[in-house]
Amino acid sequence: MVAPQQAPGAGASDELDVVDESPETLYALCRERGWGDGLPIVAPTPQRVDAMLAAHGGDPDRSVGLVPPRDGEATLRALAVNAVMAGCEPGTLGVIEAAVRALLHPEVNLRGVQATTHPVAPLLIVHGEVVDLLGFNAATGTFGPGWRANATVGRAIRFVLMHVGGGYPDRGDASTQGQPSKYTYCIAENAAACPWPTYPRSRGVDAPSAVTVHCGENPHNFHDMESDEPVRILTKAASAMATLAPNNAPISQAEFFVVLGPEHAATIASCGWSRTDVQSFLFEATRLPRRVLRSAFDVLAWRPWLLAIDDDDELLPMTEHPDNYRVLVAGGPGKHSCVVPSWGMTKSVTLPVEA
C-alpha cells in the first residue's frame, strides 16, 4: 500500500504514494511511519501543500530554524505539510510560522520542553486582526472544542514538534503521562472584551497581529459567581496558584498565565484596577510559608534573594517578580477564568505575525 522510502523517524523523504486518501489508508500510513496524534489526518498532497504555500507566499525552502531535539529544518514547506495534515485552512501558515519562530527563541528552551518528563505543552495565543480574519474563536469556549482554526492550528504546532522536532511520545518526548493539551492548545485573545491594552501591546509588540507561546500545564479553572470587586475574584486565582504541585513552586523565574474571562476582567477594571494592579495583587496574594516550600523540595531554582530569606514563617511569593503574572482576556459570558502554570525553565515569547 505504501511505497517504503526509509526507516520510520529517519525523515528526509519527500514524497510517497498511497493507494487512496481513505481514513483507513492514512491510519495505516501513520502507524507504519509513527506519524500523527492518533486522530484522523488530512492527506498532505502536493496540491494541498501548494495551496497552503501560495496563500502565504515566500520561498518554500526558507527555514524558520531547527526544531529540537531532532533538529529538523522548519522550512515553510515542512510547516505547510504539517498544517495540511492537521486540517488547517490555507491562510493560517503565517500564524504557524510566527508560532514556530517564537518557540525557537532561546528563552523558550524548546529542547527541554520537548524532552522533559513533565507534561508541558506550548499554549499558543493568537492576537489581533488574524483572529477574525482566520476564524479563531476568542469568545465562548476559546480553549475548545468546536472551532477549526483553534483546533487545527494548535494541532499543527504539535505536528511540527513531532515530525520536524522529533518529539514523538516515548522517543523525543519523555512526558510521564502527557496531557490533553498535547493534542492541540490554541486560544485567541478577546481584545474587544479587554479593558486594558491588548496583551501584545503590554509586552511592547505593536503589530496588527501577533502570537504568544507559553509552555505550561493545562489550564486550571477558577470561578467566582458573586463578587463585584477584584479582591475576592483574584484571591481565588491566587489560591489556584499557591500550591506545591506546579514547577512554579521550585523555579522562581516561572510565569503564570492568568486568562481572565471577560466578566471577571470587566468587574476588576470597573474598580479602577489596571493590568499592573492585577499583577501586583497576585504577587502579594499568591504565597506560601517558607517552611512549607523549603520542606517540600531538595533542589530550588530560586533567585538568591529568595534563598536568603531564613524566617520559616515568612510568606514567600510563588514567582520572583509581579511581571511573571501574565494577564490577558479570553472567553465569553460567564464567571470563569483560569490560570496556566509554567513548565518552569522557559519564558513566554510574543512575536508579530508577518503580513
Residue 107 CB, nearest approach to another protein (Å):
11
Lookup result for grid cell 508579530:
352
- Say whether residue 17 binds another protein (CB under 8 A): yes
Contact with another protein (CB under 8 A): which of 27, 28, 55, 73? 73
- Say whether residue 82 binds another protein (CB under 8 A): yes
CA distances from 58 to 62, 101, 173, 291 (A): 8, 15, 31, 56
CB distance 105 to 349 below 8 Å: yes
- Say whether residue 39 binds another protein (CB under 8 A): no
CA distance 93 to 77: 10
- Say whether residue 179 binds another protein (CB under 8 A): no
Question: Cβ closer to another protein: 176 or 204?
Answer: 176
Residue 120 CB, nearest approach to another protein (Å):
10
CB distance 333 to 240 below 8 Å: no
- Say whether residue 274 binds another protein (CB under 8 A): no
- Say whether residue 229 binds another protein (CB under 8 A): no
Query: How many residues make up the chain in this entry?
Result: 355
- Say whether residue 345 binds another protein (CB under 8 A): yes
C-alpha cell at 331: 472567553
Question: Cβ closer to another protein: 9 or 90?
Answer: 9
C-alpha cell at 268: 476588576
- DSSP H or E stretch at residue 196: none
- Say whether residue 116 binds another protein (CB under 8 A): yes
- Say whether residue 66 binds another protein (CB under 8 A): yes
Calculate the CA 350 to chain-centre distance: 11
The three-state (H, E, C) secondary structure of 133-170, written as one string? HCCCCCCCCCCCCCCHHHHHHHHHHHHHHHHHCCCCEC
Calculate the CA 278 to chain-centre distance: 22
Comparing CA positions, the residue from 211, 13, 189, 236 lying closest to residue 100 is 211
Residues 146 to 165 in contact with another protein, rule: CB under 8 A: 159, 163-164
CA distance 130 to 94: 10
- DSSP H or E stretch at residue 105: none
Lookup result for grid cell 488530512:
42
- Say whether residue 93 binds another protein (CB under 8 A): no
- Say whether residue 167 binds another protein (CB under 8 A): no
CA distance 285 to 317: 8
CA distances from 102 to 39, 87, 109 (A): 26, 22, 11
- Say whether residue 15 binds another protein (CB under 8 A): yes
For residue 145, whether the previous peptide bond is cis, meaning omega lies within 30 degrees of 0, is: yes
Q: How many residues contact another protein, by CB under 8 A?
A: 50
- Say whether residue 170 binds another protein (CB under 8 A): no
Question: Cβ closer to another protein: 69 or 135?
Answer: 69
- Say whether residue 71 binds another protein (CB under 8 A): yes
Residue 206 CB, nearest approach to another protein (Å):
31
- Say whether residue 70 binds another protein (CB under 8 A): yes
- Say whether residue 56 binds another protein (CB under 8 A): no
- Say whether residue 335 binds another protein (CB under 8 A): no
Comparing CA positions, the residue from 343, 316, 331 lying closest to residue 214 is 343
β-strand partners of 128: 209
Contact region with another protein (CB under 8 A), list: 67-75, 217-225, 236-244, 288-296: 67-75
Question: Cβ closer to another protein: 5 or 227?
Answer: 5
Contact with another protein (CB under 8 A): which of 56, 74, 224, 350? 74
Contact with another protein (CB under 8 A): which of 170, 228, 298, 313? 298
- Say whether residue 296 binds another protein (CB under 8 A): no
Q: Which residues bind another protein (CB under 8 A)?
A: 5, 9-21, 29, 35, 43-46, 49, 63, 66, 70-75, 77-78, 81-82, 85, 109, 111-112, 116-117, 159, 163-164, 174, 176, 298-299, 301, 343-345
